[in-house]
Each structure stands twice: as C-alpha cells, then as structure tokens.
Amino acid sequence: MSGREQMDGCMQSVELIVIGASAGAVSALTHLLPPLPGGYPLPILIAVHISPRDTGSLVALFRERCRITVKEAEDKEPIAPSTVYFAAPDYHLLVERTRVLSLSNEEAVNFSRPSIDLLFTSAADAYGSNLLAIVLSGANQDGSKGITAVSEAGGAMWVQAPDTAEARSMPDAALAASARARALGLGSMTELLTQGMGRR
C-alpha cells in the first residue's frame, strides 16, 4: 500500500479533526474549509493565534464561505458532527475526556492563547487513534508538543508542506516532532479530507 493510500485510509477511523495555525492561517484555511460538502460528518476544532480584539472575525468570515456549520466554541459544549469550532480569541480550547469542549483563560503557553499544543494534547487524550491533527502555516513552534502527544496516542498527523506555507516555522517544528507526521500541500489535504468522507 502506498503512503497516499495509507493516509486516505486513515480517514475511515477519524472521529475528530483538530487544526492549528498562526501567521498565514486565513489563506490556508480558505483552501481547506470551503470545499467541505454540506453534511460533512466530522467535527473540526481550530485554534488560531489571533488578537483578542478580533472576536468573531474568523467565524464570520468562514460562516459565509462554508457549507457546514461554523461557530465559536463554548464552554461545556458537546462536540457535534458537521461543525467547525473556532477557539475564542484569548481563550484556550480543550477537549475533555467526555468529549465536550472546555474553555480556559489560564496563562498563555509559549506566549499563545489559544494554545495549539493544549488543544492537540487534550484531543489526543480524549480521542487517541481516532484523531487527525493538522498543523498549518505559523511563525512559531506552537503545535510541536501537541504533535508528539498525537503521535504517542496513535493519531494521524498532517502538516502543511513548509515550502508552501506563508510562515514555515510551525510546519518545520511539527515535522521534526514526529517521524510519522506527513507533509502535504493544501490541495492534497483537501482531496484526502473530501474523498475519504465519500467512502465512509
């Protein structure tokens, strides 16, 4: 079986997708989210480094562009299918073992709140091998510790190919964190996300 077939096949066991992004996030997410069909079965949690003053801006932008539900995550909210949840600016977004969302305003991690590492690590604890974590463009190393946690839990990891990212520091750090993480172009990610769901 080829590496591409293995990545495509991994979508059959995925129950949750988590995405982390920073500088270059809007451009990268615009490639991934709008192509998802209405009724796309998986929930998607997204942590983006954004100014606290920009509350609701990402939700408003992608709500207009997407065919599935897009909303800001709320504390103690059950995770629902066919929904994109954005972390609220200046709040950490975590996944509880009972598979509900949790918000925290505890200290920033590596100068970041929301922390991609915290999102990925908590999701790996709750979903294990049924998790897909995606690291997109970013200018720091947030997400690399989370990728390690996802790898140890047996989850799947995709990383935006560094040479295609507006800022490659986050993709480079994520790829260095796990030999199992796969570098992919955004077009390949979109194809795998949508085709994999077509065969569920």
Active site residues: 22, 49, 142
CA distance 192 to 187: 9
Buried b (16+ CB within 10 A) or exposed e, 58-96: bbebbeeebebebebbeeeeebeebbbbbbbbebbbbbe
Q: Select from 159, 155, 119 the least CA-distant residue to 135.
A: 159
